[in-house]
Amino acid sequence: MDLGIKGKKAIVCAASKGLGRACAMSLAREGVDLVITARTAADLEKTADEIRKETGVKVTAVPGDITTDAGRAAALAACPNPDILVNNAGGPPRGDFRDWGREEWIKAVDANMLTPIFLIKAVVDGMISRRFGRIVNITSASVKSPIPELGMSNGARAGLTGFVAGLARQIARHNVIINNILPGPFLTDRLRSGFQEAARASKRPVDELVQERAKNSYTGRVGDPAEFGDACAFLCSAKIGFIVGHNLILDGGNFNSSIA
């Protein structure tokens, strides 16, 4: 299927690795020109190069912390009128909520709620005036099925989800469409580092823990970031103008419910 977005422009945040990188790659394969961001310039340039070589699209690497005003301004300066925005940032740390003060909470809310909201605010009116916009927020399966030790993630992402649910309905008539994708376990650096921690604590090999997690999944495996990227490209396509404000959980069926 031709997704109908060849020649469109996208900002993909936090995209040198993992899920963000996969979204950037899938959009590029559809002929979308990209601005990609991440804090580590060398990794970001490497990813930009790989995407250019594989797809031939224009890729501009904008190093910076997307959770800061300066980071967002730099991304927007490189692409002031995107047709597509993929919101993403690192997730908050695990822990016990008794150890988190105001500073930790503000950081989590900034990264996983306010950063996407401010980016949406910056681009949405341009999308409305051009009568095309696609926004995908990468959140987490924990929005539907909380992970107790990820309290700041559960809380901040739920805040974003509530806000987006209303906004998505306010702007859909202009063909500006917002949806969220909720990843379950995808084998990225972030998931791998979680397995590495668990391996150290349990003195078991990382691979064994990954296999165990895979075995306990309905699909018998963990997710491949590339399939996450393809789902994101689909939700950025010209075809999805009637899919409004959804929370697409990609977890291999782990969220156990008759209606996902």
Which positions touch ligand NAP (CB under 6 A)?
Answer: 14-20, 37-40, 43, 65-67, 71, 88-91, 138, 140-141, 183, 185-186, 188-191
The residue among 175 and 247 lying less far from ligand NAP, judged by its C-beta, is 247
Nearer to ligand NAP, 55 or 139 (CB): 139
Contact 14, 44 (CB under 8 A): no
- The residue among 172 and 206 lying less far from ligand NAP, judged by its C-beta, is 206
C-beta of 112 vs 237, nearer to ligand NAP: 112
Q: How far is the CB of 88 from ligand NAP (least distance, A)?
A: 6
CB of 45 to ligand NAP, least distance (A): 11
The count of C-alpha atoms lying within 13 angstroms of the C-alpha of 116, restricted to the half-sphere facing its C-beta, is 31
Nearer to ligand NAP, 57 or 138 (CB): 138
- Residue 16 or 237: the one with the smaller Cβ distance to ligand NAP is 16
Closest contact distance (angstroms) between CB of 206 and ligand NAP is 15
In the complex, what is the shortest distance from the CB of residue 132 to ligand NAP, in angstroms, rounded to a whole number? 26
Closest distance between ligand NAP and the C-beta of residue 23, in Å?
A: 9
The secondary structure of the chain as a DSSP string is: ---S-TT-EEEESS-SSHHHHHHHHHHHHTT-EEEEEES-HHHHHHHHHHHHHHH---EEEEES-TTSHHHHHHHHHH-SS-SEEEE--PPPPP--GGG--HHHHHHHHIIIIIHHHHHHHHHHHHHHHHT-EEEEEE--GGGTS--GGGHHHHHHHHHHHHHHHHHHHHHGGGTEEEEEEEE--B-SHHHHHHHHHHHHHHT--HHHHHHHHHHTSTTSSPBPHHHHHHHHHHHTSGGGTT--S-EEEESTT-S--S--
Please report how close the Cβ of residue 119 comes to ligand NAP at its closest, in angstroms. 12
Shortest distance, CB of residue 228 to ligand NAP, whole angstroms? 8
Residue (12 or 176) nearer to ligand NAP, CB: 12
Q: Which residues contact 74 (CB under 8 A, 6 or more apart)?
A: 37, 62, 63, 64
